[in-house]
């Protein structure tokens, strides 16, 4: 059974190429071998510079490369498309699944493996995966203890995960969804009802993946995921737009001296466009917005993530982290654990986001548990 995907709704230009995922993935050209596809590559690169063969093949070919590089950790299904940990299903363990449009790598496929996700379901670029993809991924990790769906708050993602959960439950597989909505920049957008789901997704996947490895039952795991979401806030900013391969041009325009505060991970508008400032001022604006919404104060501990949007040098991200730690230390807030790098991106966008999760002994202990995935690993 195949369903047409409801787009995640990341940006206006993307809607021009949103189409049925199943149709795109099952058309004859997509199902033939490497040599046959190569013979059909005719594409003009006059409008953008990307290391691709053709916009219609970029997700498929990326996943093929991913499967070759990480064959020791994951298996990749191409009909329907999903990525699953190599030893799935793990009997007696709750399966943990997330997914969404491609273009945010390493999220989500990069987090499949021991101590994190059991499966990830990638859609086309900035387009939700289809219900049949999600259903197949859910079935593939069902070890008899149910499956947790971690879903970012985008309309297409929510509807398609809900439909997949109904299909699974009709076949006796218990599936429970928790929605992540940690973005403090805007309350509603063109593509969401309520706040967008962004950086806290990565933290929830790590913490819930660890709890599932410990044997948490589905009900407790869902409550834990909701607690992570309730205690996490994220704010992002952009120095440049991203360029979606199928669109062939930047999603939006920023002047040479402009930045946008509160940008979404698909290029959705933020809360303010303004002249660019030193990183100290930028991080101050982001931290003040987060702390104005997150119930954290002096003496509390946090897990902090400074995340690149895909086109920002690591050197600059470390500079942003320096500002973040100085600001939190001045407020008596302790950074118990930290991540700096590209963890939830927006293709080639230059910019960053900051995520703070108010920690406690349980959350920090789960964070420290071993993890072995393509993109995140320690202790394993």
Check residue 110 and report its DSSP letter.
G
Cβ pair 375, 249 in contact under 8 A: no
For 61, the enclosing helix (H) or strand (E) is: helix 58-69
pLDDT at 48: 85
Cβ pair 146, 116 in contact under 8 A: no
Cα gap 159→277, rounded to integer Å: 39
Virtual torsion, Cα 14, 19, 25, 28, nearest 10 deg: -120
pLDDT at 270: 87
Secondary structure percentages of the chain, helix, strand, coil, to 5 = 35, 25, 40
pTM of this structure: 0.89
The two structure tokens encoding residue 96? 């943990």
Cβ pair 98, 148 in contact under 8 A: no
My answer on whether omega of the bond before 106 falls inside 30° of 0, hence cis, is: yes
Q: What is the pLDDT along the chain (380 residues), one digit of tens a residue?
A: 333 334 444 333 333 333 333 333 333 333 345 544 554 555 566 668 999 999 999 999 999 999 999 999 999 999 999 999 999 999 999 999 999 999 999 999 999 999 999 999 999 999 999 999 999 999 999 999 999 999 999 999 999 999 999 999 999 999 999 999 999 998 766 666 789 999 999 999 999 999 999 999 999 999 999 999 999 999 999 999 999 999 999 999 999 999 999 999 998 888 999 999 999 999 999 999 999 999 998 999 999 999 999 999 999 999 999 999 999 999 999 999 999 999 999 999 999 999 999 999 999 999 999 999 999 999 98
Cβ pair 140, 182 in contact under 8 A: no
What domains lie within the chain, and their CATH numbers?
57-230 (3.40.50.10440), 232-378 (3.30.1180.20)
Cβ pair 353, 237 in contact under 8 A: yes
pLDDT at 269: 83
| Residues in the chain, overall count | 380
pLDDT at 375: 98
Cα atoms in the 13 Å half-sphere on the side-chain side of 303:
23
Known catalytic residues are 104, 266
Cα gap 228→366, rounded to integer Å: 11
């Amino acid at each position: 059974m195949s369903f047409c995907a409801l787009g995640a709704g990341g940006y206006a230009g993307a809607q021009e190429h949103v189409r049925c995922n199943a149709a795109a993935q099952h058309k004859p050209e997509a199902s033939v071998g490497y040599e046959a596809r190569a013979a059909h590559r005719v594409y003009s690169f006059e409008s953008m510079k990307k290391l691709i063969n053709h916009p219609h093949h970029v997700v498929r070919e990326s996943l093929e490369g991913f499967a070759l590089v990480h064959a020791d950790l994951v298996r990749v299904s191409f009909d329907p498309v999903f990525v699953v940990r190599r030893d799935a299903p793990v009997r007696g363990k709750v399966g943990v699944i997330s997914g969404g449009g491609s273009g945010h790598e390493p999220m989500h496929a990069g987090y499949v493996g021991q101590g994190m996700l059991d499966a990830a379901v990638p859609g086309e670029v900035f387009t939700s995966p289809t219900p049949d993809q999600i259903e197949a991924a859910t079935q593939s990790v069902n070890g008899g203890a149910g499956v947790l769906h971690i879903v970012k708050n985008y309309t297409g993602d929510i509807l398609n995960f809900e439909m997949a959960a109904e299909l699974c439950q009709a076949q006796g597989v218990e599936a429970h969804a928790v929605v992540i909505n940690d973005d403090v920049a805007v309350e509603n957008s063109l593509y969401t009802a309520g706040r967008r789901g962004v950086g806290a997704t990565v933290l929830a996947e790590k913490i819930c993946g660890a709890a599932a490895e410990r044997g948490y039952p589905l009900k407790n795991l869902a409550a834990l995921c909701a607690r992570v979401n309730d205690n996490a806030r994220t704010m992002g900013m952009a120095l440049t737009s991203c360029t979606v391969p199928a669109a062939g041009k930047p999603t939006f325009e920023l002047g040479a001296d402009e930045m946008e505060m509160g940008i979404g991970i698909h290029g959705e508008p933020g809360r303010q466009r303004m002249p660019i400032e030193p990183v100290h001022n930028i991080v101050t604006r982001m931290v003040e917005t987060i702390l104005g919404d997150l119930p954290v104060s002096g003496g509390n501990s946090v897990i902090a993530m400074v995340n690149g949007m895909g086109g920002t040098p690591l050197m600059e991200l470390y500079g942003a982290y320096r500002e973040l730690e100085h600001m939190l230390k001045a407020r008596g807030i302790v950074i118990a654990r930290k991540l700096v790098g590209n963890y939830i991106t927006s293709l080639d966008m230059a910019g960053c986001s900051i995520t703070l999760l108010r920690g406690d002994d349980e959350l920090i202990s789960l964070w420290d548990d071993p993890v072995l995935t393509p993109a995140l690993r320690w202790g394993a």
